[in-house]
Structure 1
Amino acid sequence: MNYRTLGKTNFNISEISIGTWQVGGKWGSGFDNNLADRLLNSAIDAGVNFIDTADVYEAGLSEKAVGRVVKQRSEQIFVATKCGRQINPHVSENYTPAALTKYVEESLNRTGLERLDLIQLHCPPTDVYYRPEIFETFERLKEQGKIAHLGVSVEKVEEALKAIEFENVSTVQIIFNVLRQRPSDLFFQEAQKKNVGIIVRVPLASGLLTGKFSNQTHFDANDHRNFNRKGEAFDKGETFSGIDYNLGLQAVDELKQLFPSEENLAPRALQWILAHPEVSCIIPGASNEAHITSNLSTFKLPDLTQDQLDKINDIYGRLIKPEVHHLW
C-alpha cells in the first residue's frame, strides 16, 4: 500500500481506501453485518487505513459496522462520515446548526467513537455553500472535541470551489474518473493551493469502468444503476458518472483495445486517477472480497505510459466530454 497526506488534516492515508455505500449490502438489498465485518477487516489487513461512510448508508448500519470494526483493531484507522442527507425535504433552509449538530452526535453514538476524524456535509444544496453560519457550526463541534476536521462531499466543481473558500474545510470529496475529468481543469490546482485534501469517489463509474458490463447486463430493481439513470432518485451524476449507459459501453470498448490482455479494467482506471498527484485517496466501494482484491491489485501493475494516458484522455475528449463535461 502507498500513502498520501490528506491535505491540511495531515492524516497519512492509504491511496486506495474504501467507501461503504454497499459494504454489507448493495444499494438497498439488505445489510449483512458479517459480510461488512469481513470486508472491512480484509481492507485493513491489506493496509487500508481510511474508511468513508455516511449516516444514511443502510440507515446507519454502515456507521455501526465501521465503528465496531475500528474499535476491534489495533491500527490507527481514520473514519470519515457524512451528514445532511437525512434532511427531508432536502433544501437549504432545512440545514440548521441544530439539525447538523444532532446528526453529528447521532453518528458518534452509532460508531461508538469518541471523536469523528472527518465529518463531511453530504452533497448539500448549492445555496448551503453561501451560508457561513453552517460552516461555523463545525468550529463549535471541533471545540467540543466531537470532530477533528470538516469536509464536504460535492456534486459540482462550482460547489467545490465555493466550499474551499471556507478556511475550516479540510477536504473535498468529488467524483473523478476516466469518464468524469472536469475536476482536474481548475479545481485540483485551487485545492492544492489551499492544501485541501481531495477524496475521489465513484472512481469506477458505478462499475462501468471494470469492463465487465454489456447491453445484456441485468441490474436489480433496487440497484441505483437500474432506477437512477436519469436522476429519478438523486443526482444523475452519481450513476455511471451521469453518462448514457450505451455511450459508456462504447468508451469502455475503446479502453479495452488499449489493454487487450486485461479482462478487468478497474486497476487501470484507478491507476489513471492516482496519476494525478493532487488526489489524496480513492474510495472505491466493495460488496465482496474480490472487489477489494481487484482494487488493490492496482499497485502490482506497471505504471501507465504517457502514450496510454494520452489515448485514455483522447477517448474522453472525443466521446464523453461533449456530453457531460459542462454539467458537473
Structure 2
Amino acid sequence: MQTRRFGKTGWTVSAIGFGAWQIGGSWGDVGETDALAALNAAIDAGVTLIDTADVYGDGRSEKIIARLRRERPEIKDRVKVLTKAGRRLNPHVAEAYTIEALEAFIDRSRANLEMETLDLVQLHCPPPEVYYIPALFEGLDGLVRAGKIRHYGVSVQKVEEGIKAIGYPGVASVQIIFNILRQRPAELFFGLAKAADVAILARVPLASGLLTGKITRDTSFSADDHRQFKRHGEAFDVGETFSGVPFEVGLQAVEELRRILPQGVPMAQAALRWILMHDPVSAAIPGARNPEQSRGNAAAADLPAFSPAQMEAIRDLYDRLIAPHVHHRW
C-alpha cells in the first residue's frame, strides 16, 4: 500500500482510505456482518484511514467502526478514524453552527466511536457563510486543547469554500469531491492546500459508482439508495450524486474512458490510480460494501503510473464532455 503524509498532522496514512458512508446507509442494504467484513478486508490490505460521519445511518457507521476497534485492538493506534459533524442541525443553516452545538455532536461521536479523543472531526459541508465565523474555528481550537479532538478539518462542496477554510491555521484537512469527472480542484486549490500543509481527502472518487464502469442505462437502484431518491439534489447538493454529471453524459464519458484507461485493469482501480497521480492528494476514500470491493480499492495504489498521453487524453475528454456541466458549479 502506498502511503502519504497527512498534512500538518504529521500522520502517515494509506493513499487509499475507506469511506464509511455505504456501511451506514443510503446505499441500499448493507448488513453489519458484511460491513465488518469489508472493513476488515480493507485493514488487511493496508488501509490505515477510515472516514465516517455522525449522520451515516444516524450513527450506525460510527458504531460499526467502534466494534471493529474493539475486536481488533491492535489497530487503534495505527488506523486513523475521521468523522464529521454539523449535518444533524435542523434547520441546517449557518446561524445554527455554534461551538456548543458542535461540541454536543462531537460528544455523541465520541460515545458512538468509543474514543475519548477523536482523531479528526470535519465540519460536514456547512453553508458557505460558516467559513466567515472565526469564533467557530477558535472554538474548535478550544476543543483540541480540551482533548476532545486531536485535529479538525472541513468537508466542502465548492473549491472556493476550501480556499477560505485553509486560511484558518487550525484547519488540518479539506475533503473535496475529486475524480476524473470533477477535476477543477487540481487547477488552483491543490497548490494552495499543499503550500498551507493541509491534507486533501478525495471524496466521491468513483462518482457514485459511475467510474466503476458497471452502471448502465438499465441499472436500477433500490428505494433506500441515494442514487435513486436524491439523484436530483432533493436532500443534499446534487454534486454528491454522480458528481453532478447528468447521468447520460456520465455514461457516455465512461464508454470513452474505456479506450483510454489501461486495458485489463478494473475501471474502478484505474479511476482511483488517476486520483493518486496528483501528489497533493493525501488519500482517496472510496466506499465498499464487501471484502472484494475493499481489496480491489486497495490494489489501486499499486498500479503503474499513467502515461502523459493517458493523462492528456483524460483531460481532453473532461474539457470536451464534462466541464460544461460541472466545472464552474463546484
TM-score range (shorter-chain normalised) is over 0.9
Q: 2:243: which partner in 1?
A: 241
For residues 117 and 265 of structure 1, the distance between their equivalents in structure 2, rounded to whole angstroms, comes to: 32
Pair 1:8-2:14 in alignment:
no
1:320 equivalent among 316, 322, 329 = 322
CA distance in structure 2 between the aligned counterparts of 1:264 and 1:5, rounded to whole angstroms: 27
Partner in structure 1 of residue 41 of structure 2? 42
| Residue number among 304, 307, 322 corresponding to 2:306 in the alignment | 304
Letter in structure 2 aligned against 1:14: S
Aligned to 2:133: 131
CA contact (8 A) 1:28 1:58 kept: no
Change in 2 beyond 3 A, CA 1:309/1:58:
same
In the other structure, the counterpart of 1:19 is 19
Deviation at 1:233, TM superposition (A): 1.4
Distance 1:99 1:26, change over 3 A: closer
TM-aligned CA distance change 1:31 to 1:61, over 3 Å: farther
Counterpart in the other structure of 2:69 = 70
| Match for residue 215 of structure 1 among 214, 217, 220 | 217
Q: Distance in 1 between matches of 2:92 and 2:29?
A: 24
TM-superposed CA distance for 1:32, in Å, is 2.3
| Matches for 1:69-218 after TM superposition, within 5 Å | 69-71=68-70, 72-75=72-75, 76-218=78-220
The C-alpha deviation readout for 1:41-60, integer Å capped at 9, x for no partner, is 11111111111110000110
For the aligned residue pairs, the C-alpha RMSD in angstroms reads 1.4
Aligned partners of 2:164 and 2:264: how far apart in 1? 40
Shift of 1:286: 0.6
Kept after mapping to 1: 8 A contact 2:63/2:112: yes
CA 1:143–1:296 in 2, change beyond 3 Å: closer, same or farther?
same
Q: How far apart in 2 are the matches of 1:139 and 1:180?
A: 32
CA distance in structure 1 between the partners assigned to 2:250 and 2:19 by the alignment: 23
Structure 1 position 31, deviation (Å): 5.4
Structure 1 residues 79-133: Cα deviation after superposition (integer angstroms, max 9, x where no partner)? 1000000001100111111110100011001111121110000000000000011
Work out the CA distance in 2 between the residues paired with 1:42 and 1:326. Answer: 38
Secondary structure, in 3 states, of the residue corresponding to 1:74?
helix
**Cα gap change, 1:247 to 1:3, in 2 (>3 Å):** same
Give the TM-score of the pair, scaled to structure 1: 0.96
1:224 shift after superposition: 1.2
Q: CA deviation at 1:260?
A: 7.4
SS of the residue 1:99 aligns to: helix
8 Å Cα contact 1:118/1:150 also seen in 2:
yes
Q: 1:205 to 1:29 in 2, by over 3 A?
A: closer
Identity score, percent? 50
Q: In the alignment, what sits opposite 2:231? A: 229
If asked which structure has higher relative contact order (CA below 8 Å, sep 6+), I would say 2
Segments of 5+ residues of structure 2 without an aligned counterpart are none
Secondary structure at the aligned position of 2:220 is classed as coil
**Preserved contact between residue 52 and residue 80 of structure 1 (Cα < 8 Å):** yes
Cα-to-partner distance string for 1:252-286 (whole Å, 9 max, x where unaligned): 11001124743731111111110000000011001
Post-superposition shift, 1:302?
A: 2.5
User: What amino acid maps onto 1:57 in structure 2?
Assistant: Y
Kindly tell me: are residues 288 and 31 of structure 1, through their superposed partners in 2, closer, same or farther at Cα, counting changes over 3 Å? closer
Cross-structure match for 2:52: 53
Contact in 2 for aligned 1:70/1:77 (Cα 8 Å):
no
**Is the alpha carbon distance of 1:190 and 1:215 closer, same or farther for their aligned partners in structure 2, counting shifts above 3 Å?**
same
Q: Letter of the 1:257 partner, please give it.
A: R
User: Would the aligned equivalents of 1:212 and 1:264 in 2 still touch at CA under 8 Å?
Assistant: no
Say if 1:263 and 1:221 are closer, same or farther in 2 by CA, change over 3 A.
farther
Taking the aligned partners of 2:73 and 2:128, their CA distance within structure 1 comes to: 38
AA at the equivalent of 2:14: S
Letter in 1 for 2:301: F
Instruction: Select between 206-215 and 300-309 the one with higher mean Cα deviation.
Output: 300-309
